[in-house]
Amino acid sequence: MLMEVKDLSLSIGKVALLDRVSFSVDRGQVLGLVGESGSGKSLTALALTGLVRRIGGRITGGSIVFDGQELSDLPEPAYRKLRGKRIAFITQNPMSALDALKTIGDQVDQVSRLHLGLSRKAARAHTVDILTRLRIPEAATVARAYPHQLSGGMKQRVVIAMALAADADLIIADEPTTALDVTVQAQIVMILSELVKKRNIGLILITHDMGVVAQICDKVCVLYAGRVAESGPVWQLFDTPRHPYSAALIGCIPREGMAPGALKGIPGTVPSALNYGAECCRFASRCTRADALCHTTRPLPHSQGAALVACHHPQGTAAQPEALDV
């Protein structure tokens, strides 16, 4: 397994924000990390990249094993060597990763010169090769351009090129296309997934877009209020979601031919981290299947088909969003 996260718990100050989160991703796989805003996706990415310490986060339990190496207690200097070189991180606002005063080529070259020790000339050839693979036309010319001369979609590809320039084994992309229009989003997501297969690397894609998950992910981990609700192969999640929260998320996907105004969300909101509650199902207050047990006892993950599901009353049949009154 390329990366295996097991029972990862994380706090900022006294507030416990992640609670025994587990998932794994192998080479050639795309793992989707999904859930509504505030479910803990970004914090998980920051934990995996060792950056959570910079915002005062502390891993309080569990393990993160990357290619056989335990990362949860890795000192920052060692993490610095890993980040960028073996684990590349594309953040939510990737445009800010570009320096307006340097050419595209200089910025991408810099990564492979630093991490792969390439000469100036070899680095430029490497950059042009990556830009071409990302389907940037006239890559050698684009390499001589400045960020302001490129469209948003092009700039985003350049940021992905920077993530790829060091030949990382794992890419963690946190909502990498949020700032772009829908067609460009789809293109970039497809490019990323092709790269995973071609280069046999792993990708953890953080998104709230279940359509993207269905399109490119092999596995999916559904987070809710800092815990895993359901994790397993993507086909099962869409075919027979077992956790009512997963079913509700799928019920929110817009479908072709849907009447205007038919699109609904999940009633209620993700609880604040201050009110998470330890001994309950955190989704209980929004779930129509919930009973007294759900309000008093934490559901532990157990096998349901090919997935692990943390629910006292999992669904066994096809998605029934109407049963959830969404």
Ligand X SMILES: Nc1ncnc2c1ncn2[C@@H]1O[C@H](COP(=O)(O)OP(=O)(O)OP(=O)(O)O)[C@@H](O)[C@H]1O
Q: Residue numbers of the site for ligand X (CB under 6 A)?
A: 12, 17, 35, 37-43, 55, 208, 273
Instruction: Write the CB contacts of 16 (distance below 8 Å, at least 6 apart in sequence).
Output: 9, 10, 60, 226, 273, 276
Cα(94)–Cα(121) distance, rounded to whole angstroms?
26
Residue (40 or 301) nearer to ligand X, CB: 40
Instruction: Write the CB contacts of 138 (distance below 8 Å, at least 6 apart in sequence).
Output: none
Whether the Cβ atoms of residue 10 and residue 59 lie closer than 8 Å to each other: yes
Residue (3 or 43) nearer to ligand X, CB: 43
DSSP one-letter string for 269-281: -PPPGGG--SSS-
Minimum distance between the CB of residue 277 and ligand X, rounded to whole angstroms?
13
Residue (118 or 223) nearer to ligand X, CB: 223
Minimum distance between the CB of residue 312 and ligand X, rounded to whole angstroms?
24
Minimum distance between the CB of residue 270 and ligand X, rounded to whole angstroms?
7
Minimum distance between the CB of residue 57 and ligand X, rounded to whole angstroms?
7
Residue (48 or 234) nearer to ligand X, CB: 48
Residue (42 or 49) nearer to ligand X, CB: 42
Instruction: Write the CB contacts of 164 (distance below 8 Å, at least 6 apart in sequence).
Output: 88, 130, 134, 171, 195
Minimum distance between the CB of residue 12 and ligand X, rounded to whole angstroms?
4
Residue (43 or 196) nearer to ligand X, CB: 43
Q: What is the largest CA-CA distance in the chain?
A: 67
Minimum distance between the CB of residue 13 and ligand X, rounded to whole angstroms?
7
Cα(17)–Cα(12) distance, rounded to whole angstroms?
7
Residue (45 or 196) nearer to ligand X, CB: 45
Of 301, 172, 281, give the one whose Cα is nearest residue 232: 301
Minimum distance between the CB of residue 209 and ligand X, rounded to whole angstroms?
11
**Angle at which helices 120-133 and 104-116 cross, to 10°:** 110
Distances (CA, A) of 95 to 30, 160, 206, 299: 23, 11, 17, 40
